[in-house]
Chain A
Amino acid sequence: MARPLDPLGFEDEMCPVCKSRKYLNPDIVFVFNPECYHSMCLNCANRLFNDGPNQCPHAGCNKTLRRKGFRSAFFGDLAVEREVDIRRRVAAVFNQVEDDFETLQDYNNYLQMVEDLTFELVNGTDERRRQAEAQLQAWEAEHRADIERNKKAGREADEISRVRLAAERDAVRQRRIEAIKEAEAEKRERVRSREMELDNLAKGTTAMTAEPATKVQLKRRGQVNRVAETASNPAIATTGMGTGASEVERLSIRGLKEKPKAPAPQGPYDPFGGMDFAPSRYKLHGGLSHPLMEKYRLDRQHVAGGYSFDDFAARALYEAFAGLGVFVEDEKEVGSGIGLSQETSMAAGIAAVVDADKMDLD
């Protein structure tokens, strides 16, 4: 048989130590040590490092390796493997999430800071790598409490999502099984009714009986459908409840953190609480005159006490308009709680004012 084509080439790796290939030895397993990320086959690793620590066999690499550190790679590209290992370390320290930031900009800047640091750790020169390492450690020391808290929160979130996924999968499986069952039941039903029909024919019963039979069948099918629907709906409902309950318990709304709001600037103190005393239904013009009032204007008895005719006009108008905004019908409905006596006294009051008006104007 022809060899499989392998466009990515990772199956034709060669062990740099013993020079054996996957082609010759299909069972070959490659391992590497995260000390230096040089790969070799499992046999070589066993052979070289079983007797304790030894130097990496790669030319120019003088790292001392132990058998225990060897593992097989997840990625085909060992550079990526290394990067991911570094990222794992970085992610354990820089584990803040969007909720911890007030603005998106802050969050993005944080992300970039982390990425810069990771990039230095992965690709930087020795000097910069050391710097980055130091920065990492400093951050860890500084934010120890936050890191712990986020780690815990992250674990919880993972757990929730895992549970939810599992529940969803279960529900889907349940529904699938139900659908299959339903289909089977229908099939059985069909076969049965067909047999019944044949039996009827064999017994010689005429179309009279055959017709009700089909009717019965139709009815039954409808019933089956209905039953199935109600059966599957609770399935949805219960699964929804199941996940819903766990979510309600630990409901978390993801997103940016709430900003603490600065108190609004306060104006000068207003004893009336912003109440407006300017009349809304009419406008006062100064110098209001009335033929009846003219004589009093000249009358010393009236003027001597400092009596202001404008004040008089303002008061008169105020009283004239005072009841206009009030509709008795509305008041009755709204103010049904007001007692009868209060109402009557109010009416009397109003009447008195009206009388007073008349008197003043005279």
Chain B
Amino acid sequence: MPSFPEARWFQTLGQLMQTEGELFRRLGYAETRFAVRIIPDNNSNGGDRIVGLTIDGYQLSEVKPIADLNEFDPDFVICGKREIWDRMLQEIAEHGRPELRHTLSSLALVGEELWLESTDQLREDKFYRFNQTLQELLNLASKVPE
């Protein structure tokens, strides 16, 4: 089975998003193109990877590894060390969601363990506009078959 942070792992999230359609319809549609950047931690568990994702309504319509961020032109990039992503996914696997202070929004607020990069605050604000959709998408990691 694909594992984080392979693009195919995110595609599995996309398939689960379709299965869990009602949850996302309840939240309302989202329209954003963004990227997830996974930076190797001190233990070098994996390389620096960027995955581009597009949410079009209630579906993850595009997932692909990104070599050139400028070309992909995301609204925002969520950046974090591998160990932080791993911790979040571990908590999601155990409880279905991250701990209160380890959500995407909370971590990005502090900006140390996870941070946002964007060329325009207006586009970065889509991270907040669609935040619950983004978090629920990641929370589906608890349902990815191992």
Asked whether A and B interact, the reply is: no
Residue numbers of A with Cβ under 8 A of B are none
By a beta-carbon cutoff of 8 Å, the part of chain B in contact with chain A is none
